[in-house]
């Protein structure tokens, strides 16, 4: 799934803080979409929990706005 793919990219040196064209980083995107396991993986791999980017500021704000309480608790 998503986590296995992300793990492969990260193990090959992918930038965990890489931005998309809209400035969204992986952790805020996972928070916005409520992907608990992806959030756990990114945090375990050292993603910056306070990273700003995208439409909602940081991952906590994105998860909160979208009602993803399990992700909010992780963050």
Q: How confident is the model at residue 56 (pLDDT cuts 50, 70, 90)?
A: confident
Structure pTM?
Answer: 0.90
pLDDT at position 48: 95
Domains of the chain with bracketed CATH? 2-74 (1.25.40.20)
Average pLDDT over residues 1-18: 93
Q: CA angle at residue 54 from 49 to 74, to 5 degrees?
A: 30
Average pLDDT over residues 60-69: 96
Average pLDDT over residues 59-65: 95
């Amino acid at each position: 799934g998503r986590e296995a793919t992300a793990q492969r990219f990260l193990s090959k040196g992918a930038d965990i803080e890489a931005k998309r064209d809209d400035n969204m980083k992986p952790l805020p995107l996972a928070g916005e979409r409520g992907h608990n396991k992806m959030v756990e993986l990114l945090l375990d791999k050292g993603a910056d929990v306070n990273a700003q980017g995208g439409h909602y500021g940081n991952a906590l704000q994105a998860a909160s706005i979208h009602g993803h309480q399990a992700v909010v608790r992780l963050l």
